[in-house]
Amino acid sequence: MSDDLNPLVARRRLRIELRNARQGAGYTQEQVAAAMEWSLSKLIRIESGSVGITTNDLRALLRYYGIKDPGRTAELLALGRASREKPWWSEHRDLISPQLGMLIDYESTATIIRSFQPLLIPGLLQTEAYARAAISQFSAPSTPDRLDNVVKIRMRRQEILSRRDGPKLLAVLDEAAIRRNVGGSRVMREQISHLASMASRRNVSIEIVPFNAGIHPGLQGPFVVLEFPDPADNDLLFLESSRGDLFIRDDVDEVASYQEKFEQLRKMSIDSSETIAYLSQAADELK
């Protein structure tokens, strides 16, 4: 287990382990809550990952489940400690939603990020100028300092793509995201050139669904599917509303349906080998 496992991922992994341990021991949630002298709601929150668990409570729970192996116990206690740490973005809780904070955390430990955007450039691929123009339009922070800080958060979020152990980003964009003028011609030219540069990286793939593809499944809205290295961590789906609100889903069937939709969009896209040439031409048209 990584020493820098972020709190949200650790909490999610721990709740899966604890739920499996309870079920393996043959206990119901009601039985465990009564034995631990907890409220049922406390156990439900722990197993849902919505709250952390103290080391003493975790030790008691593991004993009750019959987990005695020292190595296994140490691993789960480490998850418990990691789940209570604060992520780097926690100092900016007044600037970002809890759902966006979760997305930032999960992105940082994902193996593959599949992102579709029908209208705007994905946050992980935005230039600072483009991000500032987009955030000013949709979020409208109350002061220039707050706007600066929101932009800085988005730029820091992108650092995962420069890490040696960072995730692979598979980004599919509707052509509208390329052609829509955000922030003026100069900003868009810089943004499109940045996309071309990012597309040349080994861990970034950018594909574009052209206008002539017509109506397609992605027009229902943007989405992100995250895949993790540990088989115990199910894939996660993030859906974004027209207002920018994020909704998290971990239902296996629903996530699978969006993975299938993503592959359909890839088949409709310009071949990835042609993406850089397409983007370079689009940037030249803005000169």
Q: How confident is the model at residue 8 (pLDDT cuts 50, 70, 90)?
A: confident
64-92: pLDDT as tens digits: 999 999 999 999 999 998 888 887 777 88
* 123 and 245 co-located in one domain: yes
Residue 1 falls within a domain, yes or no? no
Q: Which of 83, 112, 137 is the last residue of a domain?
A: 83
Q: Which of 83, 104, 128 is the last residue of a domain?
A: 83
Q: Check pLDDT > 80 for residue 123.
A: yes
Of 32-46, 55-69, 232-246, least confident by mean pLDDT is 232-246
Residue 151 falls within a domain, yes or no? yes
Among candidate residues 200, 204, 152, the one with its CA nearest the CA of residue 173: 204
pLDDT (0 to 100) of residue 51:
75
Predicted model pTM = 0.78
Q: Check pLDDT > 70 for residue 170.
A: yes
pLDDT (0 to 100) of residue 3:
44
Of 1-15, 36-50, 90-104, 177-191, least confident by mean pLDDT is 1-15
Residue 187 domain boundaries: 88-284
Q: Which of 42, 65, 83 is the last residue of a domain?
A: 83
User: Residue 56: which CATH number?
Assistant: 1.10.260.40
The number of distinct structural domains making up the chain is 2
Q: How far apart are CA 224 and CA 237, in angstroms?
A: 6
